[in-house]
Structure 1
Protein backbone atom coordinates (compact mmCIF):
# COMPACT_ATOMS: atom_id res chain seq x y z
CA UNK A 1 0.00 0.00 0.00
CA UNK A 2 1.34 3.44 -0.86
CA UNK A 3 1.64 6.61 1.17
CA UNK A 4 -0.28 9.63 -0.11
CA UNK A 5 0.34 13.30 0.60
CA UNK A 6 -2.52 15.77 0.33
CA UNK A 7 -2.86 19.48 0.83
CA UNK A 8 -5.93 20.20 2.92
CA UNK A 9 -7.14 23.63 1.87
CA UNK A 10 -9.97 25.88 2.87
CA UNK A 11 -13.36 24.17 3.12
CA UNK A 12 -11.52 20.81 3.45
CA UNK A 13 -10.66 20.67 -0.24
CA UNK A 14 -8.08 17.91 -0.80
CA UNK A 15 -5.38 18.28 -3.43
CA UNK A 16 -3.11 15.29 -4.03
CA UNK A 17 0.58 16.21 -3.85
CA UNK A 18 1.97 12.77 -4.61
CA UNK A 19 2.22 9.08 -3.83
CA UNK A 20 5.20 7.11 -2.50
CA UNK A 21 5.97 3.48 -1.85
CA UNK A 22 8.04 4.11 1.27
CA UNK A 23 7.31 5.99 4.46
CA UNK A 24 10.73 7.61 4.50
CA UNK A 25 10.29 9.24 1.07
CA UNK A 26 6.74 10.39 1.81
CA UNK A 27 7.73 11.85 5.19
CA UNK A 28 10.66 13.74 3.66
CA UNK A 29 8.41 15.21 0.97
CA UNK A 30 5.65 16.26 3.36
CA UNK A 31 8.22 17.85 5.69
CA UNK A 32 9.62 19.90 2.79
CA UNK A 33 6.11 20.99 1.82
CA UNK A 34 5.33 22.03 5.40
CA UNK A 35 8.44 24.24 5.47
CA UNK A 36 7.10 26.26 2.53
CA UNK A 37 3.59 26.61 3.99
CA UNK A 38 2.33 30.08 4.88
CA UNK A 39 0.82 29.81 8.40
CA UNK A 40 -1.75 32.48 7.55
CA UNK A 41 -3.17 30.47 4.63
CA UNK A 42 -4.96 27.94 6.83
CA UNK A 43 -3.75 25.10 4.60
CA UNK A 44 -2.24 21.90 6.00
CA UNK A 45 -0.40 18.92 4.58
CA UNK A 46 -1.44 15.41 5.55
CA UNK A 47 0.24 12.09 4.88
CA UNK A 48 -1.80 8.88 4.92
CA UNK A 49 -1.15 5.20 4.32
CA UNK A 50 -4.06 3.72 2.36
CA UNK A 51 -5.14 1.01 -0.08
CA UNK A 52 -5.75 3.52 -2.84
CA UNK A 53 -6.32 7.22 -3.46
CA UNK A 54 -10.09 7.02 -3.00
CA UNK A 55 -9.78 5.37 0.42
CA UNK A 56 -7.19 7.97 1.42
CA UNK A 57 -9.48 10.85 0.42
CA UNK A 58 -12.48 9.29 2.15
CA UNK A 59 -10.50 8.82 5.36
CA UNK A 60 -9.18 12.38 5.38
CA UNK A 61 -12.63 13.80 4.56
CA UNK A 62 -14.52 11.82 7.20
CA UNK A 63 -15.78 13.67 10.24
CA UNK A 64 -14.36 12.22 13.43
CA UNK A 65 -16.60 11.70 16.42
CA UNK A 66 -15.75 13.49 19.64
CA UNK A 67 -14.45 11.18 22.35
CA UNK A 68 -16.78 12.03 25.25
CA UNK A 69 -14.20 10.84 27.77
CA UNK A 70 -11.79 13.60 26.66
CA UNK A 71 -14.21 16.52 26.77
CA UNK A 72 -16.34 18.28 29.30
CA UNK A 73 -15.77 19.78 32.71
CA UNK A 74 -13.45 17.03 33.90
CA UNK A 75 -10.41 18.89 32.65
Structure 2
Protein backbone atom coordinates (compact mmCIF):
# COMPACT_ATOMS: atom_id res chain seq x y z
CA UNK A 1 0.00 0.00 0.00
CA UNK A 2 1.31 3.45 -0.85
CA UNK A 3 1.58 6.60 1.23
CA UNK A 4 -0.44 9.55 -0.04
CA UNK A 5 0.49 13.16 0.63
CA UNK A 6 -2.28 15.76 0.72
CA UNK A 7 -2.51 19.48 1.19
CA UNK A 8 -5.51 20.31 3.38
CA UNK A 9 -6.81 23.81 2.81
CA UNK A 10 -9.49 25.95 4.36
CA UNK A 11 -12.84 24.18 4.74
CA UNK A 12 -10.92 20.86 4.75
CA UNK A 13 -10.50 20.82 0.96
CA UNK A 14 -8.12 17.97 0.06
CA UNK A 15 -5.61 18.35 -2.75
CA UNK A 16 -3.36 15.38 -3.55
CA UNK A 17 0.26 16.44 -3.81
CA UNK A 18 2.14 13.19 -4.30
CA UNK A 19 2.43 9.55 -3.33
CA UNK A 20 5.30 7.24 -2.42
CA UNK A 21 5.87 3.53 -1.89
CA UNK A 22 8.00 3.81 1.25
CA UNK A 23 7.55 5.70 4.50
CA UNK A 24 11.01 7.27 4.27
CA UNK A 25 10.37 8.65 0.78
CA UNK A 26 6.89 9.93 1.70
CA UNK A 27 8.16 11.61 4.86
CA UNK A 28 10.93 13.39 2.93
CA UNK A 29 8.43 14.63 0.32
CA UNK A 30 5.95 15.78 2.99
CA UNK A 31 8.66 17.63 4.91
CA UNK A 32 9.82 19.37 1.73
CA UNK A 33 6.25 20.49 1.00
CA UNK A 34 5.86 21.72 4.59
CA UNK A 35 9.00 23.86 4.25
CA UNK A 36 7.48 25.65 1.25
CA UNK A 37 4.11 26.15 2.96
CA UNK A 38 3.11 29.67 4.00
CA UNK A 39 1.91 29.44 7.64
CA UNK A 40 -0.55 32.31 7.11
CA UNK A 41 -2.64 30.43 4.53
CA UNK A 42 -4.30 28.04 6.98
CA UNK A 43 -3.22 24.97 5.00
CA UNK A 44 -1.39 21.89 6.21
CA UNK A 45 0.34 18.86 4.72
CA UNK A 46 -0.73 15.37 5.82
CA UNK A 47 0.64 11.96 4.95
CA UNK A 48 -1.64 8.91 5.04
CA UNK A 49 -1.10 5.19 4.48
CA UNK A 50 -4.03 3.73 2.49
CA UNK A 51 -4.95 1.20 -0.18
CA UNK A 52 -6.04 3.89 -2.68
CA UNK A 53 -6.81 7.59 -3.03
CA UNK A 54 -10.47 7.12 -2.17
CA UNK A 55 -9.66 5.46 1.15
CA UNK A 56 -6.99 8.07 1.91
CA UNK A 57 -9.42 10.94 1.32
CA UNK A 58 -12.10 9.19 3.36
CA UNK A 59 -9.75 8.78 6.34
CA UNK A 60 -8.53 12.38 6.12
CA UNK A 61 -12.12 13.69 5.92
CA UNK A 62 -13.31 11.96 9.09
CA UNK A 63 -13.15 13.99 12.32
CA UNK A 64 -10.75 12.58 14.86
CA UNK A 65 -12.08 11.54 18.24
CA UNK A 66 -10.62 13.05 21.39
CA UNK A 67 -8.45 10.64 23.36
CA UNK A 68 -10.16 10.41 26.79
CA UNK A 69 -6.80 10.00 28.53
CA UNK A 70 -5.88 13.52 27.37
CA UNK A 71 -9.00 15.20 28.73
CA UNK A 72 -8.76 17.00 32.04
CA UNK A 73 -6.46 19.55 33.61
CA UNK A 74 -3.51 18.74 31.36
CA UNK A 75 -5.51 19.09 28.18
* Structure-1-length-normalised TM-score: 0.89
- Does residue 5 of structure 2 align to residue 5 of structure 1? yes
Output one character per residue of 1:3-35: Cα deviation in whole Å (capped at 9) or x when no partner.
000000000000000111111111111111000
Distance change (3 Å), C-alpha of 1:21 and 1:39: same
CA distance in 1, matches of 2:24, 2:65: 30
* Structure-2-length-normalised TM-score: 0.89
- Does residue 42 of structure 2 align to residue 42 of structure 1? yes
- Matched residue, 1:51: 51
> Unpaired runs of 5+ in structure 1?
none
Tell me, what secondary structure is at the counterpart of 2:59?
Answer: helix
- Matched residue, 1:14: 14
> How many residues were matched structurally?
74
Query: How far has the Cα of 1:65 moved from its partner?
Result: 1.9
CA distance in 2, matches of 1:8, 1:56: 12
